[in-house]
Structure 1
Amino acid sequence: MAEEKPLTVVTCTAPVNIAVIKYWGKRDEELILPINSSLSVTLHQDQLKTTTTAAISRDFKEDRLWLNGEEADVGHPRLQSCLREMRRLARKRRGGSAGAAAPLSLAYKVHVASVNNFPTAAGLASSAAGYACLVHTLARLYGVEGELSEVARQGSGSACRSMLGGFVQWLMGERPDGKDSIAQQVAPETHWPELRVLILVVSAEKKPVGSTAGMQTSVDTSLLLKHRAEAVVPERMAQMIQFIQQRDFEGFGQLTMKDSNQFHATCLDTFPPIFYLNDVSRRIIALAHRFNAHHGKTKVAYTFDAGPNAVVFTLADTVEEFVEVVKCSFPPESNGDQFLKGLPARPASLSKELLSAVVLEPVPGAIRYILLTKPGPGPQPLDDPNLHLLGADGLPCPRA
């Protein structure tokens, strides 16, 4: 039986998601219930992912957690919330399934190791991928099935959207217990094969104001945030879903930029104001608008989460030209061959007309690198035992 094994190990990966209709502000801090619905694009795990290994054993003395190779506080309230809920669901499954094989003893302690292949806490949705990966991995470890975005939400709000691939909406819900505040897929990752995502990494440093603290201050002080949640977002959600279903990049791109701008306007309307964008971020915004104006239509669309790094949506036929424009505007100071990472893109030649209209004063070294990716699937299991982050002793492997 499963319980006779000295150690049971499960490893999974989960993706980052980038919101195009932003989530900012909670109406319930404990359950992480948002003041408005939101919508995101799940990015491909070949370029951005969290990998998590969870192990359970009768020999473990306590729950333990390692993040990116360093032991972390396993007592963090949100982590504990996810652990309690997954164990509760496992007990419920065991008690409610007559004749079903009992899962591993829920009294056993769990060891968890998690690594990101991208900068943590730099505004690239690391907590979303991390908690989605934790919940998916624990679900496989404990044999829990069904709707789990509600559990992931209790770790990090946007984590519920990383439980699904493609284009995902997080419904704010109406129930006080949060049972209807869940994620739903709007379209799979295969729906819009031409869509590409460029992440312009301005800074990999930890942001000065964390999302949790920033949100609460905005809820307490910003009248614009209240207006946005009640009067603006509901209509934008419906519009964005329609643009995605129709693969209408003009509509999708313009609405993505407008919603990003409004989100950062609410941060400025917060008191004291919160500044997630920096001078380079603003230069990227201006560059995108000059590029679109030159072409006479929306060919690139920026969005910024709670950090200075830009996420630019475009179509496959525009990638090479825009990458070249970014290189000319923000020349890499070193490792020019490593400036573009992720999916490949060939060098492009730019017309003098485009260069003079779009590239103004170059700022060398302002962008560290560009990561090119596309929409991707939700969490995935890794069945190869060589990929586990924990060894036979339940401790991190040297590579973790």
Structure 2
Amino acid sequence: MPSSKSPVVVTCTAPVNIAVIKYWGKRDEELILPLNSSLSVTLHQDQLRTTTTAAISKDFSEDRVWLNGREEDVEQPRLQACLREIRRLARKRRSTGDEDPRTPSLSDRVHVASVNNFPTAAGLASSAAGFACLAYTLARVYGVEGDLSEVARRGSGSACRSLYGGFVEWQMGQRADGKDSVAQQVAPESHWPQLRVLILVVSAEQKPVGSTAGMQTSVQTSALLKFRAEALVPAHIVEMARCIQEQDFPGFAELTMKDSNQFHATCLDTFPPISYLNDTSRRIMQLVHRFNAYHGQTKVAYTFDAGPNAVIFTLDDTMAEFVAVVRHVFPPEVNGDKFLKGLPVTPVPVSDELKATLAMEPVPGGVQYIIATQVGPGPQVLDDPDAHLLGPDGLPKPKPAA
């Protein structure tokens, strides 16, 4: 017989993060412990976010999960790892008597619905935002407090960095149990207000080689990956933190590009080689270097994760010109008014001198669209019941009619 008690429901959002010092490869697959530390920039949730609703009720017969409206296998190992860890922490808290009486029973089942407002599995850090949001939401609904790095990390390594806003380091740690492999904020989102981020979406398709499989092959076959992790990254982390603290954009930009190039070099050093970049990706790299050469200083930087989409860092006084240059080199084939999403950018002309310096023939449609954003905060709780993705019955709400 159904209970009269309503489900306990919590809805949260979490951000995407983009690593400027990359994580690639694990020293422990089960605990998801990285070969090296990494450092990332948290993007603003007004443009890129995951929204997750968790509902717990004794009326639910089993755990269930939906992603972007489609039910997924709740037995997926990483999802189960997050659930087990949250329930373990909740059980530990209750054993000390330190619990909220409104917290639901651990024997009750949970339903979870999650949606991304950006392409999933296309190299835009969807798993980082997704598992950070899952960990954060489950913690709220189960009454778990404290650092959630270990919970989020069990789902996706880089997810622990999405638990904080601003600039975040995921410290690799030294302990075998992974208790010191945690995320820590280097600087808050308010630290560098002039920094802007442009995501150039080259392809919204799922990447051909998933990050997990790619990392495993790289760890097994790439000598360059091991050298990078041990000999190069520690100094890169220190230097990147300095550039952020001092708002040294040329230093930040150059190191970001070098680290991205080095990461993709390890992918090519993997056997068989992995290539996440395509011709448009390489053309964007060429465009950035020619743009910087024209200005005689480093005004724009690129970085690529495990996918062809470019993430561009620049300052607010350069963003409009670079957007105009991208539009010139990659003119939109259709929906030109929808080419730029996110933050408003005032159109500016591209000078003939700059066009001549770029010397690049236009490739219509090479970039599908641009998302303009900035540095943003960490996860948020949504108090509005209308924001819940699950209805009172614990099932996904129907999409409103268009």
TM-score range, shorter chain: over 0.9
Q: Which residue of 1 aligns with 2:141?
A: 141
Q: Which residue of 1 aligns with 2:368?
A: 368
Post-superposition CA distance 1:371-394 (Å, at most 9, x none): 000000000001100010000100
C-alpha distance in 2 between matches for 1:103 and 1:363: 56
C-alpha distance in 2 between matches for 1:209 and 1:128: 17
Q: Which residue of 1 aligns with 2:189?
A: 189
Post-superposition CA distance 1:274-300 (Å, at most 9, x none): 010000000000000000000011000
* Letter paired with 1:364: P
Offset, 1:190? 0.4
CA contact (8 A) 2:66 2:72 kept: yes
Offset, 1:351? 1.6
C-alpha distance in 1 between matches for 2:25 and 2:79: 20
* Letter paired with 2:263: F
Q: Unaligned 5+ residue runs, structure 2?
A: none
SS in 1 for 2:115: strand
* Letter paired with 1:135: A
TM-score of the aligned structures, taking structure 2 as reference length: 0.98
C-alpha distance in 1 between matches for 2:153 and 2:65: 19
Q: Unaligned 5+ residue runs, structure 1?
A: none
* Letter paired with 1:350: V
SS in 2 for 1:303: strand
2:113 maps to 1:113: yes
Change (3 A) 1:80 1:328: same
Post-superposition CA distance 1:219-243 (Å, at most 9, x none): 0000000000000000000000000
Q: Give aligned-pair identity as a percent.
A: 74
Q: Which residue of 2 aligns with 1:59?
A: 59
CA contact (8 A) 1:14 1:162 kept: yes
C-alpha distance in 1 between matches for 2:329 and 2:135: 41
C-alpha distance in 1 between matches for 2:360 and 2:53: 47
Offset, 1:99? 7.6
Offset, 1:4? 7.5
Change (3 A) 1:99 1:314: closer
Q: Which residue of 2 aligns with 1:268?
A: 268
C-alpha distance in 2 between matches for 1:399 and 1:376: 28
Q: Which residue of 2 aligns with 1:170?
A: 170
Superposed structure 1 runs of 4+ greater than 6 Å apart:
none
C-alpha distance in 2 between matches for 1:220 and 1:387: 44
Q: Which residue of 2 aligns with 1:340?
A: 340
CA contact (8 A) 2:93 2:99 kept: no
Q: Which residue of 1 aligns with 2:48?
A: 48
Offset, 1:399? 2.2
* Letter paired with 1:365: G
2:259 maps to 1:251: no
Post-superposition CA distance 1:302-341 (Å, at most 9, x none): 0000000000000000000000000000000011111000
C-alpha distance in 1 between matches for 2:98 and 2:228: 49
Change (3 A) 1:230 1:12: same
C-alpha distance in 1 between matches for 2:323 and 2:37: 32
Q: Which residue of 1 aligns with 2:280?
A: 280
Alignment of 1:1-400 (within 5 A): 5-97=5-97, 101=101, 103-399=103-399
C-alpha distance in 1 between matches for 2:156 and 2:99: 35
CA contact (8 A) 1:51 1:133 kept: yes
CA contact (8 A) 2:49 2:116 kept: yes
C-alpha distance in 1 between matches for 2:99 and 2:105: 16
SS in 1 for 2:394: coil
C-alpha distance in 2 between matches for 1:334 and 1:26: 42
TM-score of the aligned structures, taking structure 1 as reference length: 0.98
C-alpha distance in 2 between matches for 1:44 and 1:15: 7
* Bigger mean CA deviation after superposition, 204-213 or 90-99: 90-99
CA contact (8 A) 1:285 1:302 kept: yes
The CA RMSD over aligned residues, in Å, is 1.1
C-alpha distance in 1 between matches for 2:7 and 2:220: 47
